[in-house]
Amino acid sequence: MSGSSDLIPIVSKIFCSSSLTTLTVRKRPRVVNGGGFAVTDRRPKTIFTVDGCGVIGSKGQLLVRDEDGASILRIQKKGGVVQALSTGHQWKGFADNQGTNKLVFSLKESRACFAKNERIRICTEPRSSHRDWDYEVHGSFPDKDCSINDRRGAIVAEVIVSEMMESKEIYQLIVRPGYDQAFVVGVIAVLDSIHGESTSC
């Protein structure tokens, strides 16, 4: 990566790094701070926290905060009669910056999402007419063995369990250079909720 033109901001360019970044995700017990998870860097310093309905008090809502505790991404599960009759659920992510709520991505959850190799697709905003998705999830999130890939098949981020980690309560998130880490954490938050993990009630 040679400069800002190589960055792919979705939430904000301040969350993009020009180098490969390895983050550690630690689930919070539901009895402590209402669940969710924290994301740390190598120092280790907490750079993101994710709150689910145990903290927020609203089912189908997630909140991503930065290292200062400021809300940067609000994610909502779309509901209603039409959604209930469709083949899946949709999640929408809004950049939460100084009171503005700008839609930055939507994620389609299939009814069969619990199948191990089901691919969940994500569309970023603004959308162009020639595409209906930009990224998709490959592999198994519950096994902590999955990746987020772009339309060309290139890996954007990977979820893995290190051999040094004895529990899936702690896992690694590897984000490729240039990609928006806040966006990736937001997608992981939705996957966590879909699979009934730390952010769910």
Domains of the chain, by residue range, sit at: 17-194
> Residues 26-52: pLDDT tens digits?
998 776 667 899 999 999 999 999 998
Instruction: Between 9 and 130, name the one with better pLDDT.
Output: 9
Candidates 2.40.160.200, 3.90.1580.10, 3.40.50.620, 1.10.3720.10; correct CATH number of 17-194? 2.40.160.200
Residue bearing the bigger pLDDT, 110 or 133: 133
pTM given for the model: 0.89
Phi, then psi, of 64 in degrees rounded to 5: -105, 130
Q: In the prediction, which pLDDT does 112 show? A: 54
**DSSP-derived secondary structure for 114-182:** TSTTPPEEEEESS--TT-S-SEEEEEETTTTEEEEEETTS-EEEEEE--TT---TTEEEEEE-TTBBHH
